[in-house]
């Protein structure tokens, strides 16, 4: 299909109709009202067990498999999911994956294995519908047609072939072959791969050669070996699939997990913060006071399966009798954003956590496809919104490490892919007290408006429950107001500004329907220049130079923008035609994902120090899968005239 000839850039015009206005639904055949809340305890995610020892390195072999998991409460069916786990221990496979614990300055090496095959070695098809009309991995296109936007004369159905994967460690400082580039995917080493299919993406062989040269490792079929140096501050990273045009469905099927870096000069001494966290080989009855929480939204069918839209008609912006290829520029399956009607924490719906009257450290990750969370602790989960805060959060860190100082907040704003490292102090609460983590973010695309309708209090407006139990040991952690945090070094002066535009391209066939979302550049006159993923590289940051990235959002929605290889520092935001304002109090640390609001510039400074090919993209997964992603090439500085003579 030929989207450019049928699409036009949308600026700051009227928003798309709300979900309720356009009659779309957000779920499958299982009514969320039938799912009992707070019937299951929170799963405290264990630590991923290491593999065979390698001198000086923490070594792992982590597979991707299909299995059943009890996500819904007991009495309802289990759910077929994908997840990560140690290939040496089948009991470790879980969605989300177990936590990889890393030490600052000590490398971690992971052999990532695509094990999406059945017991006979035959490939497994995708659990969710894959739109073949996007610019995507496209194994069926063969070597010449892989990583492309295929041309069709009629509307194709969903892809049913072997599934490509590639793991990205989100927030990691690493060289390109270890970064999980979207075109470095690989199929499983199945016995029945169809003839003519490409088995690897267009960047796989290049990265395999680099790994062989730098690490003396061999990538066997169906695998990639990545090494992460962990030469960055103590931080809250996460790993997830990043396959071109398929990230939304691969992550939604279950492919995500935490990766925590501890120690080094930019961490706090042991005993300062609430602990312990889970440890490999720890006692099974340990009471943990540091807990990582992965928050997701999902919808389910009555048989327990994950629901995901099978066609564009679900979104409600095309007519029921809509036609697609060859007369329309609208993708037939892809939806502009996907929202679930059920909240899931650490792989369980609406769970409950027993807490003692003491301080806890929670690391929150928003792993939703498109939903922005506004989290608050309340006495009553059904209270009128905005609800009164029952307990504050003390935020001490974000994506790339600690903030400059602890910040007391009544609520946490957390867009997809953002992390919030917080302390919640339950000290002094009466045993038996019940509190609720609620969500006041909208059930639709977030735009930052203060008057946006919050999530449904009966479903997506609730996340999890806390119940206070007796204190079993004294709390010796430092009260958050008294903490001195290892603040990041101030950014050095910037020597160049990269101007990036955020654009939504409306269909000419169905004017209410977005055909695609795009990044791009900005013309000299300040107007947008939308670009597709396949356009030539336009951003070439110079290695070891601090440079500014200025994001101009010409759409009606807020977008969480993520850049690979670097953690950056937010400079300011500025409404078009207005005055700049500083970053929020909870954004003073290092970040790798930032919310870019509509009709505003968002600026941050970053310093690339490793040459190579990386990406910049929106982390609304539905957007990045349909063109809202661009390659960037970090380049070595040009030699001076004196050096060339």
Residues 424-455: tens digit of each pLDDT: 999 999 999 999 999 999 999 999 998 999 99
- Rounded CA-CA distance 211/462 in Å is 45
CB 122 within 8 A of CB 190: yes
pLDDT on residue 288: 97
Give the 3-state secondary structure of 390-449: CECEEEEEECCEEEEEEEEECCEEECCCCEEEEEEECCCCCCCCEEEEEECCCCCCCCCC
281-319 pLDDT, tens digit each: 888 789 999 999 999 999 999 999 999 999 999 999 998
Terminal-to-terminal C-alpha distance of the chain: 52
pLDDT on residue 125: 98
Residue 414 bridge partners (DSSP): 373
- Rounded CA-CA distance 15/3 in Å is 21
Q: Which residues of the chain have pLDDT under 50?
A: 1-24, 645
pLDDT on residue 284: 79
């Amino acid at each position: 299909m030929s989207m450019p000839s049928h699409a036009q850039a949308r600026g700051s015009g009227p928003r798309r109709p709300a979900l309720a206005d356009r009659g779309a639904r957000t779920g499958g055949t299982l009514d969320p009202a039938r799912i009992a809340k707070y019937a299951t305890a929170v799963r405290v995610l264990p630590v991923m067990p290491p593999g065979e020892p390698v001198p000086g390195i923490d070594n792992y072999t982590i597979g991707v498999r299909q299995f059943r998991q009890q996500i819904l409460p007991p009495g309802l069916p289990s759910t077929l999911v994908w997840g990560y786990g140690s290939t040496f221990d089948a009991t470790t496979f879980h969605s989300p994956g177990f936590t990889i614990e890393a030490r600052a300055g000590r490398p971690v090496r992971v052999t990532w294995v695509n094990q999406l095959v059945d017991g006979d070695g035959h490939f497994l098809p995708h659990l969710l519908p894959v739109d073949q009309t996007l610019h995507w991995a496209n194994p069926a296109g063969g070597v010449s047609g892989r990583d492309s936007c295929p041309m069709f004369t009629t509307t194709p159905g969903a892809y049913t072939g072997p599934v490509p994967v590639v793991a990205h460690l989100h927030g990691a400082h690493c060289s390109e072959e270890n970064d999980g580039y979207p075109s470095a995917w690989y199929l499983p080493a199945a016995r029945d791969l169809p003839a003519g299919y490409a088995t690897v993406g267009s960047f796989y062989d290049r990265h395999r050669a680099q790994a062989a040269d730098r690490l003396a490792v061999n990538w066997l079929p169906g695998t990639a070996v990545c090494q992460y140096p962990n030469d960055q501050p103590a931080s809250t990273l996460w790993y997830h699939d990043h396959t071109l045009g398929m990230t939304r469905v691969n992550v939604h099927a279950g492919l995500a997990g935490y990766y925590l870096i501890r120690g080094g000069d930019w961490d706090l001494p042991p005993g300062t913060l609430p602990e312990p966290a889970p440890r490999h080989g720890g006692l099974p009855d340990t009471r943990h006071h540091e807990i990582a929480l992965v928050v997701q939204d999902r919808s389910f069918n009555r048989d327990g399966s994950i629901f995901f839209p099978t066609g564009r008609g679900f979104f409600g912006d095309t007519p029921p009798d809509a036609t697609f290829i060859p007369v329309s520029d609208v993708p037939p399956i892809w939806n502009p954003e996907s929202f679930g009607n059920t909240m899931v924490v650490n792989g369980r719906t609406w769970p409950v956590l027993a807490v003692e009257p003491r301080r806890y450290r929670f690391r929150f990750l928003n792993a939703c496809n498109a939903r922005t969370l506004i989290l608050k602790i309340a006495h009553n989960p059904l209270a009128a919104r905005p609800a009164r805060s029952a307990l504050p959060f003390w935020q001490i860190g974000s994506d790339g490490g600690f903030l400059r100082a602890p910040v007391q907040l009544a609520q946490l704003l957390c867009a997809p892919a953002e992390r919030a490292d917080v302390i919640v102090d339950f000290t002094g609460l009466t045993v038996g007290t019940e509190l609720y983590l609620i969500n006041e973010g909208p059930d639709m695309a977030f735009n930052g408006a203060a008057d946006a309708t919050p999530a449904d209090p009966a479903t997506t407006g609730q996340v999890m429950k806390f119940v206070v139990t007796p204190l079993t040991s004294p709390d010796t952690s430092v009260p958050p107001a008294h903490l001195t945090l290892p603040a990041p070094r101030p950014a050095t002066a910037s020597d160049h500004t990269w101007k990036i535009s955020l654009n939504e391209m409306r269909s000419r066939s169905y004017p209410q329907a977005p055909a695609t979302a795009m990044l791009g550049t900005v013309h000299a006159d300040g107007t947008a220049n939308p670009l597709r993923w396949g356009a030539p590289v336009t951003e070439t940051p110079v290695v070891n130079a601090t440079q500014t990235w200025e994001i101009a959002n010409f759409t009606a929605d807020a977008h969480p923008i993520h850049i690979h290889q670097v953690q950056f520092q937010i400079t300011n935001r500025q409404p078009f035609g207005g005055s700049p304002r500083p970053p929020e109090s909870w954004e003073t640390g290092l970040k790798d994902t930032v919310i870019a609001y509509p009709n505003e510039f968002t600026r941050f400074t970053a310093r690339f120090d490793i040459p190579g090919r990386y990406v910049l993209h929106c982390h609304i997964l539905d957007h990045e899968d349909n063109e809202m992603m661009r390659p960037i090439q970090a380049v070595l500085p040009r030699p001076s005239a004196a050096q060339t003579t």
